[in-house]
Amino acid sequence: MPAAVEHHADHVRLVMTGTLGVTDARSLHALLLGVVDEPGRIVLDDANLAQFDTSLVQLVLAFTAARRTRSLDTALAGGPLLARLHALGVSAVAPAPETA
């Protein structure tokens, strides 16, 4: 699956690359569940994501909502997924753009 979790000193980064589709949803869901309770910021890095479908949008929005209920921070690196979330008009419930 084109996604991997990287643990850094001050955050966790979920790096997504290539194409993510419905066939990857179960594996991505498992990765997200594995880090949903991590303290500190989680950055969803979509900078090298070439293609994705609505399953990724649904998983990211659900993950972000779950972390918000735990008062935990989630950010999106600012690639094509962030642009799609803005285009869909769901910015208010989407992860915030990553800042330095």
Q: Where are the domains of the chain?
A: 3-97
Using 50 as the pLDDT threshold, list the residues of the chain that sit under it: none
d(CA 78, CA 46): 7
The pLDDT value recorded for residue 100 is: 65
Q: Which residues contact 13 (CB under 8 A, 6 or more apart)?
A: 5, 6, 42, 43, 45
The pLDDT value recorded for residue 47 is: 92
Global pTM reads 0.92
Query: According to the CATH classification, is domain 3-97 in 3.40.50.300?
Result: no
Q: Which two tokens stand for residue 66?
A: 């779950």
The pLDDT value recorded for residue 66 is: 97
